């Protein structure tokens, strides 16, 4: 039986094929695209049915971490994150190889199913998690066991709010990859690794 995740993976692979039906094994670096919703988007961001438990499970299957990037139309720092930070190949490659990033709109109306099964709009989801700034990155545990029973903020292992310069931006993702949140704060990690 074909799962929704497998269907989306097939669509992604199909869109990478050239006109002859062959996969391009050496594609050019893809650029961020400005969508109809006014948000920039990386072509490698997670395609999702907006069911967070499924997205976390899918990331785990790929041996990646799951994160949400909250944005807002017209946010200059969101734009800078896409056009400066994600444009650096060393940053893009590090993140693509280790993370599944779900992009949400802080005032959006798409329906999201939270880890606890609650269905709510992106806007209400942002309120539930106390997301007030853009961009905000939420990083979640790689272990879904018991996650639904935790309070929303306790489901996160790390959070970064606002724009970070490229060096600190990459360090934020290293912080999660290395599970440094088990030993201290992102602020302490950035100080120690500067």
pLDDT in the model for residue 29:
54
pLDDT in the model for residue 143:
82
- CATH superfamily label, 30-192: Glutaredoxin (3.40.30.10)
Nearest C-alpha neighbor of 95 from the set 42, 146, 155: 42
Is residue 67 within 8 Å of residue 95, measured between CB atoms? no
CA distance 5 to 50: 11
* CB atoms near residue 111 (< 10 Å): 14
pTM of the model: 0.83
CA distance 90 to 77: 20
pLDDT in the model for residue 30:
60
Dihedral, 70, 163, 32, 44 alpha carbons, nearest 10: -60
pLDDT in the model for residue 14:
41
CA distance 82 to 87: 7
pLDDT in the model for residue 24:
36
50: left (phi over 0), alpha (psi -120 to 50) or beta: left
> Which residues contact residue 95 at a Cβ distance below 8 angstroms, ignoring those fewer than 6 apart?
86, 101, 173
Q: What is the pLDDT along the chain (194 residues), one digit of tens a residue?
A: 444 444 444 444 444 433 333 333 334 456 889 999 999 999 999 999 999 999 999 999 999 999 999 999 999 999 999 999 999 999 999 999 999 999 999 999 999 999 999 999 999 999 999 999 999 999 999 888 888 899 999 999 999 999 999 999 999 999 999 999 999 998 899 888 87
Dihedral, 123, 64, 176, 55 alpha carbons, nearest 10: 20
């Amino acid at each position: 039986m074909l799962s929704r995740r497998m269907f989306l993976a097939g669509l992604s692979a199909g869109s990478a094929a050239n006109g002859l039906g062959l996969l391009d094994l050496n594609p050019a670096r893809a650029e961020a695209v400005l969508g109809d919703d006014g948000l920039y988007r990386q072509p490698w961001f997670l395609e999702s049915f907006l069911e967070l438990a499924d997205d976390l499970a899918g990331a785990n299957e790929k041996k990646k971490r799951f994160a949400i990037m909250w944005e807002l139309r017209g946010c200059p720092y969101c734009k800078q994150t896409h056009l400066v930070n994600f444009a650096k190949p060393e940053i893009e490659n590090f993140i693509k190889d280790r993370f599944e990033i779900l992009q949400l709109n802080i005032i959006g109306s798409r329906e999201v199913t939270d880890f606890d099964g609650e269905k709510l709009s992106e806007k209400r989801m942002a309120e539930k998690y106390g997301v007030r700034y853009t961009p905000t990155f939420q990083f979640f545990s790689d272990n879904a066991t018991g996650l639904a029973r935790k309070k929303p903020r306790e489901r996160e292992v790390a959070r970064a709010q606002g724009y970070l310069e490229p060096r600190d931006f990459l360090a934020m993702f290293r912080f999660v990859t290395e599970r440094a949140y088990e030993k201290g704060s992102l602020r302490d990690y950035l100080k120690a690794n500067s």
